[in-house]
Structure 1
Amino acid sequence: MEKVKCYKLKNGEQRYKFRLFAGRDPLTGKYKYVNRTGFKTQSEALQALAEVQQDIETGEVFALPEHPTFKAVYKQFIKQHATRVKGSTLYNIRNRFKSAILPTMSDWKIENITPLMCQNVINEWATRYTSTGTLSMLKSDVTMVFKFAMRMELVNKNPMSLATLPRMQKKDIRDKFYTKNELKQFLECAKQQEQLMYYSIFYLLAFTGLRVGEALALTWGDIDFKRKMLHVNKTVSMNEQGKRVVGKPKTATSTRVITLDNSTLDVLKKWYMKDRGLSGDINASKLIFHTERSKDKLCQAPMIKQVCLRICKNNNLRYITVHGLRHTHCSLLFEAGASIQDVKARLGHSNIQTTMNIYTHVTNQQQEKAVALFDKFMQA
């Protein structure tokens, strides 16, 4: 009550105001205050005061309270981080905080968080998520908030750095891609049971190694049928609001030109003739893959996943993710004798680690075959 004060205007009318300490500006370190004036009644001023106090406590205003919660610091961090990352990255980070991190850590005073508390959080995550990659991302997200807090001199250490990830059961890398025979069977089932567009998508992914977003962003002008070339220069990704939009490729090396084989070109030509009809020059700006209702709207990745699941379930096939068709292409390229650098360039990798993991698996298989041939020779 004492924070709201009465004052008079020059004409004698009565007004109310308040001045509220709002903590330190995280960018300058200076103490900040919120001043509000001009309220006609005391109740109006008190209501506004309560709203400002709530904003300060949750980090909605520019400054932080004296003893901020983890959520308040996170909100200041995400404002700054938003200027440094792509919309799709920001969307994913916010989703991870909303679903996994904030439900537990929101109300903890950031200065009181200990390594044990962080370890308990990680252990709880491990009961819900089976992927080491997911746990690692969550730990990294929390670490970024603590590093931001350290730069703002709110804390002097990062307790999450002392917590460790539990040992998770490693997935067999073979779960990520098909063998040559499995791929042939999957594509044959897709051809017989699904619309030509979906068959064309799966065929293109498996025979080019495109990312799903890269394939869905393609327009007919990206294909040079005469030179048998495909220009990869854009991708579909999430923006900050969670809407799928066409934007720049994932990395600088993602922009590339790749060669298309005759069978892939034939599949794409058949799809064009069915979808738009052969009427002279191809309309370069039109999407190759689109929704069933509109040829001008992007086909959605979740729908592609749903179709993939249906094919596998109806035909009792081993399921791999749609992205796994990219890994499949990588694997089969190595089996066919392609070099590491050729595969890296074709897939547009900036980091070749995934490619190398598949390469190691393929070469191990080849070594096993070589040993078997040697044993058979020696036993003859």
Structure 2
Amino acid sequence: MVWFSAMKRAVPSPTKRKPAADVDWTKTPYPNLIRYKPSGNYFGRVRVDGKLIRRSLETHVLSVAKLKLSDFLQDHRRLAINKGQSVKGEVIIEMFRKEIEDDHNNKPRTKLYKQEVLIALKKTWPQLYSTDIAKISQRDCNEWAARYGKDYSPTRYNGALGIVRRIFEIAVEHGYRVDNPARFVDRRRVRPKELHLPSQAQFQEMAKHIETSGAGQAKDCANLFRFLAFSGLRIDEARHVVWNDVDFEKGLLHVRITKNGKDRWIPLNTSLRQLLEQMRAERVKRITHHDLRHLFATRCIEAGVDIPTVSRWLGHQDGGALCMKTYGHLRDEHSQREALKVTF
């Protein structure tokens, strides 16, 4: 028994095994990302309020783990920052709507465009409105982008993506998120539009075809067609041009209402000058409906109808005082003409 005890003391004790945390976990080059050796799966690791939290990312593929890590960190860091406070996406979207209305640099057309995008977002991504804004992941953003990109052009898609990014930026600014998951979503390449422009002869033929189409406003439509081609103005810019904007002496056209809000002057090239001079020569003097009322009164007085009678015909209630003030000179002229008929 003594011998056994002595022999037991002589046998060296086995090496003490390190805790699982030191043996079974492998660090990666990426912060907060570790790998569990026995299964090969990656885990996210973060410390919240002094407590170490590990959660399986359920993948052994590094590239996939990196994507899932962002969602893991988002979920736990939001809790650390907001102490559990959460808001739905519709609240952040309302903040964005107010931002649109309060921004005086936004033109009416720009505001309308952004509102249209929000309507499209609600149809293609209703969860953005109903879900806690902090729980929306990069994967959610990518899935929306794939759906949206199928139905809209690259230009429209990129515009919508910019708005989605801004919505998440507002959430970050107000402390409801710590990152912007939409910033990793790729924009789509916009291919230059292939132009198919008419030759000079084809253009003239098209303009002539419009002018002789027989429509009630055919001449005006042809003039607009030529004006846009000769000036290079946008349609919204052209519709605000008036004759006072044309300076024939200096050979300039003043474009007051523009897309960027800055007016500009463009020179009158030969074709544009000829077109405008022709339009000026052909235009009919402007006359209003009230001018026609004055014409009626004038013709009546010139025909010899007394002013009180004309006043009643016009619906006046002042016994002819206003007519006398407005058309009194006609009575005097008429009186002088009638006096020439008197002979002795």
The aligned amino acid for 1:277 is K
Write the distance in 2 (CA, Å) between the matches of 1:152 and 1:118.
20
1:110-167 per-position Cα deviation (integer Å, ceiling 9, x unaligned): 11111111111111112211x2111110100111111111111111111111122456
1:30-41 to structure 2, matched below 5 A, reads none
The aligned amino acid for 2:90 is K
Give aligned pairs, total: 197
Farther-moved stretch of structure 1 (197-206 vs 219-228): 219-228
Write the distance in 2 (CA, Å) between the matches of 1:200 and 1:217.
15
Write the distance in 2 (CA, Å) between the matches of 1:150 and 1:132.
27
Change (3 A) 1:204 1:87: same
Cα displacement (A) at 1:91? 1.6
Unpaired runs of 5+ residues, structure 1, are: 1-64, 235-248, 280-380
Write the distance in 1 (CA, Å) between the matches of 2:143 and 2:201.
45
For the residue of structure 1 that corresponds to 2:220, the secondary structure is helix
Task: Provide the residue aligned with 1:70 in structure 2.
Answer: 89
1:339-358 to structure 2, matched below 5 A, reads none
Cα displacement (A) at 1:108? 2.5
Task: Provide the residue aligned with 2:182 in structure 1.
Answer: 160
Cα displacement (A) at 1:171? 5.2
Task: Provide the residue aligned with 2:108 in structure 1.
Answer: 87
| TM-score relative to the length of structure 1 | 0.47
1:319-372 per-position Cα deviation (integer Å, ceiling 9, x unaligned): xxxxxxxxxxxxxxxxxxxxxxxxxxxxxxxxxxxxxxxxxxxxxxxxxxxxxx
Alignment partner for residue 148 of structure 1, among 170, 184, 205?
A: 170
Unpaired runs of 5+ residues, structure 2, are: 1-83, 288-344
Contact 1:223 1:229 in 2 (8 A): yes
What is the root-mean-square deviation in Å for CA atoms of aligned residues?
2.7
**Which entry has the higher C-alpha Rg, 1 or 2?**
2
Task: Provide the residue aligned with 1:244 in structure 2.
Answer: none
Write the distance in 2 (CA, Å) between the matches of 1:117 and 1:270.
60
Write the distance in 2 (CA, Å) between the matches of 1:185 and 1:123.
45
Change (3 A) 1:251 1:171: closer
Q: Does 1:101 align with 2:121?
A: yes
Task: Provide the residue aligned with 2:273 in structure 1.
Answer: 265
Q: Give % identity.
A: 19
Q: Does 1:188 align with 2:208?
A: yes
Write the distance in 2 (CA, Å) between the matches of 1:278 and 1:97.
44
Write the distance in 2 (CA, Å) between the matches of 1:228 and 1:166.
43
Task: Provide the residue aligned with 1:197 in structure 2.
Answer: 220
For the residue of structure 2 that corresponds to 1:133, the secondary structure is helix
Write the distance in 2 (CA, Å) between the matches of 1:210 and 1:114.
44
Contact 2:138 2:181 in 1 (8 A): yes
Higher normalized contact order (CA 8 Å, seq sep 6+, divided by chain length):
1
Write the distance in 2 (CA, Å) between the matches of 1:269 and 1:167.
45
The aligned amino acid for 2:113 is N
Write the distance in 2 (CA, Å) between the matches of 1:70 and 1:186.
51
Cα displacement (A) at 1:87? 2.6
Task: Provide the residue aligned with 1:344 in structure 2.
Answer: none
For the residue of structure 2 that corresponds to 1:173, the secondary structure is coil
The aligned amino acid for 1:125 is Y
Contact 2:157 2:188 in 1 (8 A): no
